[in-house]
Structure 1
Amino acid sequence: MDFQESLESINYLAVIVAALSAFLIGGVWYSVLFAKSWMTENGFSDEDLRKGNMGKIFGGSLLLSFIISFVLVVFLVI
């Protein structure tokens, strides 16, 4: 199987679901479950977090989740 056939055999819906699930699990992990302890360990305050560009932060995180999911499936398929 060559590289082109490998790319055609990828289930892209599974890549999208994996990326979204990683993004959502990370959101729950760092907000609902361990927000206070995470902020304490990293020395952040509520004011520090309000200063950040949330669109850039969450958009970058979602983009990186897609990249990680795609690279993982490429390693598994090829």
Structure 2
Amino acid sequence: MEVSDIIQSLNWFNVTVAAVATYLIGNIWYSFFGKDWVASVNHIKVDLRGRSMPRVVGVSYLSFFMSLNLALFIGRGGMLFGLLAGLMGGIGWLVSAICTISLLEKQPWKYLLKRGIYIVLIFAVMGLLFAI
């Protein structure tokens, strides 16, 4: 199969919705666990009102490329396949990498759990969205 055929066969609407979903899930997730996350990594809480909007938009584009990458990896399949591929991508690649780095940086387990569960959740949701 040609690369152009693969790109044309993507459901671009679902790729975009999945990217937006990661942003929305992140807002919900960190509204519940943000204080614990900040405390677990010993960061000083920063006033987010003065944040740079170009930087926020730039991060949104990274979510789009993450979504696109997973869509290209998953391809066509049913909901169960999409869910399992999303879970395995989240656990097998990202959580494994984050755990390795975090353990070398001596981050607490609480940090690893909150970050890891969030990543697995967004990848599972993206996988389901690609199956629709």
Q: Is this a same-fold pair by TM over 0.5?
A: yes
Give the equivalent residue in structure 2 for 1:13: 13
Using the alignment, how far apart are the partners of 1:45 and 1:72 within structure 2?
A: 33
Q: How does 1:30-69 map to 2 (within 5 A)?
A: 30=30, 32-46=31-45, 49-50=46-47, 53-69=51-67
Structure 1 moving runs of 4+ over 4 Å:
none
In structure 1, runs of 5+ residues without a counterpart are none
TM-score calculated relative to the size of structure 2: 0.50
RMSD: 2.1
The Cα of 1:57 is off from its aligned counterpart by 4.3
The amino acid that maps onto 1:60 is G
TM-score calculated relative to the size of structure 1: 0.79
Contact 1:19/1:69, CA 8 A, preserved across alignment: yes
Using the alignment, how far apart are the partners of 2:43 and 2:2 within structure 1?
A: 49
Please state if 1:74 is matched with 2:72.
yes
Structure 1 65/11 Cα, relative in aligned 2: closer, same or farther at 3 Å?
same
* Higher RCO by CA contacts (8 Å cutoff, separation 6 or greater): 1
Percentage of identical aligned residues: 31
In structure 2, runs of 5+ residues without a counterpart are 77-132
The Cα of 1:20 is off from its aligned counterpart by 0.3
